Amino acid sequence: MKVIVCVKQIPDPALPGELDPSTNYLKRDDKLILDESDSYGVEMALQLVEAAGGGDVSLVSMAPNGEVGGLRTALAMGAEDAVLVSDSALAGTDALGTAKVLSAAISRMSPDLILAGVESSDGYTGTVPEMIAGALNMPSITFAKQIRVEGSTVMVQRQTEAGYDDVECPTPALVSVTAGVVEPRYPSFKGIMAAKKKHVEELDLDALGIDSSAVGKDGARQETIRVTDAEARQAGEVVEDQGDAHEKIIEFLGELKVI
């Protein structure tokens, strides 16, 4: 079984984010890391291939400047190889443009299953996986909290507001996985060493036959016209508990007429 995992490399979410004032794009000056949301897809793919008794897991990613830091993490977890689409024209690409690029890369690889995180931790549009399925004219199941593959059918527990639905479709298919669906493994030392030698194929837009006008700012056909500071909430009183903090809370609840 061949499983492709779409992974995004993002600025460390623990660091404060900032928009570049000249472009209004998210600043990506620091090292990019594997989006935690995607580590679940990588783990799920590894487990599905193990359960199928064989096969491999390949990664697909897109970044404007040849970044591979996040890919190496996923390779160290156990993925076989990776395709990175990198081109300076990709800066400012929106969700639809991203899906066009990733689907073009995937269409060269004939997978049985494509996995992706439900949404990235920096852009969180939550639309790219479904767009990729659309571009590949493939069935898809979003918001998976459990995945099983039997023969050429993929069976998913799809998270819903009320609980979950059982959903199934034939492969090849795309499934987007929720965070927490599996416990991503920590790369072992051996895995980290092996990852350094694993093949990362770098492709530019020409290699995929994509015109640069379909991506970047032109392809996005939308413009950030202003960025404003949100009205800040005033921090109120902060007190240290000396064993009587609950009284303070009771008093506040009374003021609010909650009690």
Partner 1 sequence: MSIDTILVFAEGDESGPSGLTLELMTAARSLATNVEAFVAGDGASMADELGAHGASKVFSTGPLEGRLIGVHAAAALQAQIEANTPDAVFFGQTPDGRDTAARLAVRIDQPVVTNNVGASFEDGVLVVEEPVFGGTQNVFTAFRNDGPALALFRPKSFEAEPTGGGSAEVVGVEAVDPGVAGSAVVTGRHAEERSGPQLDDAAVVVSGGRGLGQPEAYAMIDELAGLLGAASGASRAIVDAGWVPYAKQVGQTGKVVKPNLYVACGISGATQHLVGMKGSKNIIAINKDPEAPIFGVADLGIVGDVHKVIPALIEALRSR
Tell the smallest beta-carbon distance from residue 48 to partner 1 (Å): 18
Residue 163 makes contact with partner 1 by CB under 8 A: yes
Residue 229 makes contact with partner 1 by CB under 8 A: yes
Q: Which of residues 80-99 bind partner 1 (CB under 8 A)?
A: 94-96, 99
Q: Between residues 209 and 239, which has the closer beta carbon with respect to partner 1? A: 239
Residue 227 makes contact with partner 1 by CB under 8 A: yes
Give the angle subtended at the CA of 223 by the CAs of 222 and 227, to the nearest 5°. 135
Q: Which residues of 132-157 are buried (b: 16+ CB within 10 A; e: fewer)?
A: bbebbebbbbbbbbbbebeeeebebb
Cβ(117)–Cβ(40) below 8 Å = yes
Q: Between residues 54 and 236, which has the closer beta carbon with respect to partner 1? A: 236
Binding mask 119-138 for partner 1 (x = CB under 8 A): x-x--xxxxxxxx-xxx-xx
Q: Which of residues 26-55 bind partner 1 (CB under 8 A)?
A: none
- Calpha distance 159→230 (Å, rounded): 32
Which one of 52-60, 82-90, 161-169, 186-194 is the stretch in contact with partner 1 (CB under 8 A)?
161-169
Please state at what angle helix 36-51 crosses helix 69-77, rounded to 10 degrees: 30
Which one of 59-67, 80-88, 186-194, 246-254 is the stretch in contact with partner 1 (CB under 8 A)?
246-254
Beta strands 140-150 and 153-159: pairing type? antiparallel
